[in-house]
Amino acid sequence: MKQARAGYVFILPFLLIFFGVLVLPLGYAAYLSLYKEQLVGGVTFVGLDNYVEALSDPKLHAGVLRVAQFFLLQVPLMLVMSLFFALALDSGRLRMPKVFRLGIFVPYAVPSVIAALMWGYFYGRDFGPIGQAFSRLGATAPDLLGGDLILGSLANIVTWEFTGYNMIILFAALRAIPAELYEAAAVDGAGAWRIAWSIKIPAIRSAILLCVIFSVIGSFQLFNEPNLVQRLAPSSIDNAFTPNLYAYSLAFIGQELNYAAAVSFLLGVVIVAVSYLVLALTNRKPSS
Amino acid sequence: MSKYGIALFTVGLLALAGCADSGSAVPEQPAAAVTQAEIDKAMTTPTTLTYWTWVPGIEDEIALFQKKYPAIEVNVVNAGQGLAHYQKLRTALKAGSGFPDVAQVEFQSVSTFSITKDLLDLRPYGAEEAKAKFVDSAVSQVTGGQGQIWAYPQDSGPLEMLYRKDIFDKYGITVPTTWAEFATAAEKLHAAAPDVSMTNLASGQGVAYMGLLWQAGAAPHQVTGDDSIDINFTDDTSKKVADYWTALNKTGAISTDPDFTDAWYQGLARGKYATWLTGSWAPAFLQSNAASSSGKWRVAKLPQWNAGEKYNGGWGGSTIAVMAKSTNPIAAAKLAEFLGSDPDVALMYTEKQQFFPATKATLANAEWKSATPEFYGGQKVNEIGIEASDEMRPFSWSPFQDQVYSYWQDSVGKALADKSDLWPAVQTWEKETAEYAADQGFKVQ
Amino acid sequence: MSSTANQRQGRPSTVLTLAMLAFLIYFLLPLFWLVVASTKSTDDLFTTFGLWFGDSVDIVGNIRRTFTFNDGVYGRWLLNTLMYAVVSAGGAALLAALGGYGFAKYRFRGNGPLFGIVLGSIMVPTTALAIPTYLLFSKIGLVDTPWAIILPSLVSPFGLYLMRVYAADAVPDSILEAARIDGAGEARIFFRVVFRMLAPGFVTVLLFTLVATWNNYFLPLIMLNNPKYFPVTIGLTQWQALSANGGGGSTGDILPLVLTGSLLSIIPLIGAFLLLQRYWQSGLAAGGVKQ
């Protein structure tokens, strides 16, 4: 039992701060979510009313559907790119691999505040380079900040920011595969693509899964990019564009703190559910 | 979670539940006016006041205050601008600690903070006498339903029309004085130069649209009591405004680009917009951003709905308010009064910060009045500003103005961007705002 | 660590390199815009083509203005960011190393569920919960102090996960047994023997927390009021706000400073990654492969 005590001592510092900065605020928010505070009339206990209201809130439904759509659109694209880059780096067939590795990774180090500023320029219809290229060709530029394309434009920013991050995780995993595993295959005459497909990718399955789970969380909690781009596209990104943005505007613009807390918890439930769904789907595959 | 964890957690929650309400007690405001003796005592007792403002270079004005009241130390904090500033102020007030004694609050946000009883009624501190120093339209915006004075005006923003003289000259457009002339000029310009829009009515700028409603004489929101509010976005005046801009927008004669973005700045500098309907802080603003268009701009009054009328609205302008929970209400009230009404400070605002004044004395200042900036081709821009200021109608704001703009953006703003009919969007805007107000416990009329 | 393949197969392929070059341009073009924009005056920024230099190329002047504007507050923000990032990242990595090792190598009641709760906590979005956090912090006087930024950054669930996997893999039980037989206490074993083995994982967590704290935006936005405590992201956002709103005192003249300041703020991070890349690669490898 002496060992068990030592184990508690090791995890204690982490847990203490974890409790103070995460569990306690979450608990407080959960407590708040059971109340309703009005500008006129003060605070009343409403039980689960906020949750009931949120469950049938069309704005929240639309937001969840939108981030689900975002997830399905953006994540596969980003992860395929990350995987491709990681394999290319790992293959040893690339000249100047260090330049590529760093160059693709650098956007991750750029704060999203700045990323939104930079892409905002590129998306500008009148004076951005894309718009100018179109007008030089005598064509009308697509409105990258318009309602039809905004999800894609946001997906592009997120892809730009996080492809390198995922690439690095996958690349590190690839480096850890024992060479013997595929040297034999190479001797047998298997090409680089074949080795990648049937040896390397299965070997880093769990790393890929890790990236997918992170992406589930990132997509469903999408906030920074729409929040920052909203200024440039106020009519395409409304205040309930993503559930997290909705919770934010409820709390900070509408002073509906209690309802915002309920929305946040419901979103947490959705994310847990989707994560488990993803895990269940991917875990079933190899056995079938 | 371990047993201890749950126990700790419960203790934490109970502690919270206990202290959550402690911040909401508001000190009773003194019914009677404070005496001169009390004021003298407060102003000579060493005190430190915290003042939240985003006015750049305010230290110079503060220095004037400290010269007069050496005992009072003023700690200036720039906590953010606009929404960020209000969010922090709101959260600090809710928490009951870390809030300033004095804060900058825009005219349109005064009600937002007075409804939650966070502002000090300045009447007992000499505001009844001091208010005569300010222009009436400014005073109307800081006056509460029971005559409370919630803040001192700092700067004002009567609407003006900034226009590109070179573009007007090139296409033979005379400066419109009525909205009908404005529309005719817009169509003419659109036919001659499809790439240039007569003006840009930004799809993200509810404040500008509100200013146009204000000029037209609409009264969208009126707080009629402690818990009752009048919401009316759909009267005939509002319909007139909505239909007018719908028509211009549908033909493409105006643009609706979001403002204060990179693309919009480029549009201003490169002559995409022939006019900018904006507050009178804008002449100074434009000068610092679009140096290459120097000499091409001119200032005019806003077009009128009926020829010969003189009505105006506003956009922007701030006040200086005292927090009700301040522990130094007298010193704080005097700081706010000084920063709002002292003649030297008011004049300094026009020189250092290039504010548009809200005090009668500064508006009458001969030197300021006759300034002829080269950027505007030597035009006496402030003389036009003075007329624009005199013609401002009284106006009152809702106690949840940010939410009103938020609904505007998702309805009317979106319709502007889509070039669709504004009227149904205005109705949605009214419906959502009224529902919100009712949900917040107001009796809505 | 298991043996990795240092000798990878294949000759350099020009086709692959060219294809990757196209992608590289995509990833670097926005940064090129930032570099170009940092050389421009306000007027050039709005009147010349964004992806090429304007009439005046004055990056030195812009840097000087960035560092001198508002009494040189930018330098202070940069130092604040450095301080927050280094303290938070160092602390987070240490806590994660201790905790990860504890979870990986000790059997105690609640080990699995506790770990699950920590990982599960990242599923709830904290944006709208910033106000409850603020109210709590305000009760104990942490609001508007550096601790309001540092304390929350000390908890890295991903770091804990990584260190747990890493410790399980990199610290052989036999060494722990041997040390215990020699009579060494558990703390001594950790700091004298184990910590060195965890170094690559430690550096990995350090770096990722460093980036997270460096780019931390929302938390400081709420928690800090006084500009003297601002990290650079919030400071730059505040400058940008001057050009993003109407009203008295607003100006677009500050945009070149925002852009130059942004560019300068990225450079230290890139430096840290280059300097420490040997470590974080092996640290990440373990976290990615095993579960």
Q: What is the pLDDT of residues A116-127, one digit of tens each?
A: 888 988 998 888
Are the beta carbons of B266 and A124 separated by less than 8 Å?
A: yes
Question: Is some CB atom of chain A closer than 8 A to the CB atom of C25?
Answer: no
pLDDT at B240: 97
State the average pLDDT for chain A: 89
Query: A186-213 in b/e burial notation, b at 16+ Cβ within 10 A?
Result: beeebebeebbeebbeebbebbbbbbbb
Residues of C with Cβ-Cβ distance to A248 under 8 angstroms: 127-128
Question: Is some CB atom of chain B closer than 8 A to the CB atom of C126?
Answer: no
pLDDT at C43: 85
Name the closest residue on chain A to residue C260, using Cα atoms. Answer: A114
3-state secondary structure labels for all residues of chain B: CCHHHHHHHHHHHHHHHHHCCHHHCCCCCCCCCCCHHHHHHHHHCCEEEEEECCCCCCHHHHHHHHHHCCCEEEEEECCCCCHHHHHHHHHHHHHCCCCCCEEEEEHHHHHHHHCCCCECCCHHHCHHHHHHHECHHHHHHHECCCCCECEEEEEEEEEEEEEEHHHHHHCCCCCCCEHHHHHHHHHHHHHHCCCCEEEECCCCCHHHHHHHHHHHCCCCEEECCCCEEEECCCCHHHHHHHHHHHHHHHHCCCECCCCCCHHHHHHHHCCCEEEEEEECCHHHHHHHHCHHHCCCEEEECCCECCCCCCCECEEEEEEEEEECCCCCHHHHHHHHHHHHHCHHHHHHHHHHHCCCCCEHHHHCCHHHHCCCCHHHCCCCHHHHHHHHHHCECCCCCCCCHHHHHHHHHHHHHHHHHHCCCHHHHHHHHHHHHHHHHHHCCCEEC
Segment holding A230, helix H or strand E: none
Q: In a structure prediction context, what are the per-residue pLDDT tens digits for chain C, which is 291 residues long? A: 333 444 455 678 889 999 999 999 999 999 999 999 999 988 888 888 888 888 888 889 999 999 998 889 999 999 999 999 999 999 999 999 999 999 999 989 889 999 989 988 888 787 767 888 888 888 888 889 999 999 999 999 889 988 998 898 889 999 999 999 998 889 999 999 999 999 888 888 888 888 888 877 778 888 898 889 999 988 988 888 888 877 777 888 888 999 999 999 988 888 887 787 767 666 666 555 443
Look up residue B390 and give its amino acid.
Answer: D
B256-279 pLDDT, tens digit each: 999 998 889 989 988 999 999 999
Among B78, B106, B157, whose Cβ lies nearest the Cβ of C227? B78
Query: Which 3 state secondary structure label does DSSP give A44?
Result: strand
**Nearest-neighbour CA in chain C from A219: distance (Å):** 11
DSSP labels for C47-93? HS-TTS--S---HHHHHHHHHHHHHHHHHHHHHHHHHHHHHHHHHHH
**Nearest-neighbour CA in chain A from C189: distance (Å):** 11
Residues C150 and C85: their CA atoms lie apart, in Å, by 8
**Nearest-neighbour CA in chain B from C114: distance (Å):** 6
Residues of C with Cβ-Cβ distance to B79 under 8 angstroms: 225-227
What are the beta bridge partners of residue B312? B392
**Nearest-neighbour CA in chain C from A203: distance (Å):** 8
In the predicted model, what is the mean pLDDT of residues A131-142? 85
Residues C54 and C48: their CA atoms lie apart, in Å, by 6
Share of chain B above pLDDT 70, in %: 93
Range in A55-69, B286-300, C207-221 with the lowest mean pLDDT: C207-221
What are the beta bridge partners of residue B279? B159
Residues of C with Cβ-Cβ distance to B349 under 8 angstroms: 248
Could you report how far apart the first and last alpha carbons of chain C are, in Å?
Answer: 15
Are the beta carbons of B91 and C110 separated by less than 8 Å?
A: no
**Nearest-neighbour CA in chain A from C109: distance (Å):** 8
Question: Is some CB atom of chain B closer than 8 A to the CB atom of C1?
Answer: no
Task: Classify burial at C279, counting beta carbons within 10 Å of its beta carbon; exposed 0-12, middle 13-18, buried 19 or more.
Answer: middle
Residues C186 and C165: their CA atoms lie apart, in Å, by 20
Which two structure tokens, joined as six digits, stand for C25? Answer: 């341009």
Which two structure tokens, joined as six digits, stand for B164? Answer: 């590109």
Q: Which of C73, C225, C226, C262 is the best residue to mutate to test the B interface, defined by the most B CB atoms within 10 Å of its own CB? A: C225
Name the closest residue on chain A to residue B411, using Cα atoms. Answer: A235
Which two structure tokens, joined as six digits, stand for C132? Answer: 């409850």
Alpha-carbon separation of residue A213 from A71, A177, A279, B79, C220 (angstroms): 11, 22, 8, 37, 27
Residues of C with Cβ-Cβ distance to B13 under 8 angstroms: none
Residues of C with Cβ-Cβ distance to B19 under 8 angstroms: 139
Residues of C with Cβ-Cβ distance to B82 under 8 angstroms: 241, 245, 247
Residues B94 and B21: their CA atoms lie apart, in Å, by 9
Q: Which of B21, B273, B403, B433 is the best residue to mutate to test the A interface, defined by the most A CB atoms within 10 Å of its own CB? A: B403
Look up residue C92 and give its amino acid.
Answer: A
Name the closest residue on chain A to residue B225, using Cα atoms. Answer: A40
Look up residue B59 and give its amino acid.
Answer: E
A195-233 pLDDT, tens digit each: 888 889 998 888 898 899 889 999 999 998 999 899 899
CB neighbours of A172 closer than 8 A, spacing ≥ 6? A207, C280, C281, C282, C283, C284, C285, C288
In the predicted model, what is the mean pLDDT of residues A61-65? 96
Question: pLDDT: is A45 or C130 the higher one?
Answer: A45
B134-157 pLDDT, tens digit each: 999 999 999 988 899 999 999 999
Residues B43 and B49: their CA atoms lie apart, in Å, by 11
pLDDT at A284: 60
User: Does residue B4 surpass a pLDDT of 50?
Assistant: no
CB interface of A with C, residues 137-156, below 8 Å: none
Question: Is some CB atom of chain C closer than 8 A to the CB atom of A253?
Answer: no
**Nearest-neighbour CA in chain B from C247: distance (Å):** 5
Indicate the angle between helix axes B179-192 and B236-251, nearest 10 degrees. Answer: 10
User: How many CB atoms sit inside 10 A of residue A119's CB?
Assistant: 24
pLDDT band at B10 (very low <50, low <70, confident <90, very high): very low
Residues B338 and B344: their CA atoms lie apart, in Å, by 10
pLDDT at C284: 67
pLDDT at A256: 92
**Nearest-neighbour CA in chain A from B419: distance (Å):** 11
For residue A95, the Cα-to-chain-centroid distance in whole angstroms is 31
Could you report how far apart the first and last alpha carbons of chain B are, in Å?
Answer: 51
Residues of B with Cβ-Cβ distance to C47 under 8 angstroms: 266, 269-270, 292
Strands B47-52 and B72-77, by their bridges, are: parallel
Judge whether C260 and C66 are in contact, CB under 8 Å.
yes
**Residue B395 — φ and ψ, nearest 5°?**
-155, 150
Judge whether B320 and B104 are in contact, CB under 8 Å.
yes
Strands B443-444 and B228-231, by their bridges, are: parallel
Alpha-carbon separation of residue C258 from C34, C52, C67, C79, C263 (angstroms): 10, 19, 11, 17, 9
Are the beta carbons of B406 and A249 separated by less than 8 Å?
A: yes
Residues of C with Cβ-Cβ distance to B278 under 8 angstroms: 246
3-state secondary structure labels for all residues of C127-154: CCCHHHHHHHHHHCCCCCCCHHHHHHHC
Report how many Cβ contacts below 8 Å link chain B to chain C: 144
Name the closest residue on chain A to residue C51, using Cα atoms. Answer: A129
pLDDT at C291: 38
Residues A170 and A210: their CA atoms lie apart, in Å, by 10
A74-100 pLDDT, tens digit each: 999 999 999 999 999 988 888 888 889
Give which of C136, C127, A34, A41 is closest to B94, Cα–Cα: C136
Judge whether A239 and A253 are in contact, CB under 8 Å.
yes
B395-418 pLDDT, tens digit each: 999 999 999 999 999 999 999 999
CB neighbours of B22 closer than 8 A, spacing ≥ 6? B96
Strands B228-231 and B221-223, by their bridges, are: antiparallel
Q: Which of C11, C119, C124, C258 is the best residue to mutate to test the A interface, defined by the most A CB atoms within 10 Å of its own CB? A: C124
CA angle A208, A211, A212 (to 5 degrees): 90
Share of chain A above pLDDT 90, in %: 52
In the block, residue with structure tokens 């809702």? B398
Judge whether B253 and B192 are in contact, CB under 8 Å.
no
pLDDT at B180: 97
Judge whether C105 and C179 are in contact, CB under 8 Å.
no
pLDDT at B3: 42
Residues of B with Cβ-Cβ distance to C136 under 8 angstroms: 16
Query: A223-258 in b/e burial notation, b at 16+ Cβ within 10 A?
Result: bbbbbbbbbbbbbbbbbbbbbbbbbbbbbbbbbbbb
Structure-derived torsion over alpha carbons of residues B238, B186, B297, A131, reported in degrees to the nearest 10: 100
User: Does residue B303 surpass a pLDDT of 90?
Assistant: yes
For residue B392, the Cα-to-chain-centroid distance in whole angstroms is 14
Judge whether A106 and A187 are in contact, CB under 8 Å.
no
Among A43, A124, A253, whose Cβ lies nearest the Cβ of B262? A124
Q: Which of B195, B259, B439, B443 is the best residue to mutate to test the A interface, defined by the most A CB atoms within 10 Å of its own CB? A: B439
Residues of C with Cβ-Cβ distance to A96 under 8 angstroms: 17
pLDDT band at B388 (very low <50, low <70, confident <90, very high): very high
**Nearest-neighbour CA in chain A from B381: distance (Å):** 30
User: Does residue B16 surpass a pLDDT of 80?
Assistant: no
Residues B224 and B227: their CA atoms lie apart, in Å, by 8
CB neighbours of C185 closer than 8 A, spacing ≥ 6? none
B21-55 pLDDT, tens digit each: 433 344 445 457 899 999 999 999 999 999 999 99
Name the closest residue on chain A to residue C288, using Cα atoms. Answer: A207
Query: Which 3 state secondary structure label does DSSP give A212?
Result: helix
Judge whether A69 and A154 are in contact, CB under 8 Å.
no
Among B9, B406, B442, whose Cβ lies nearest the Cβ of A239? B406
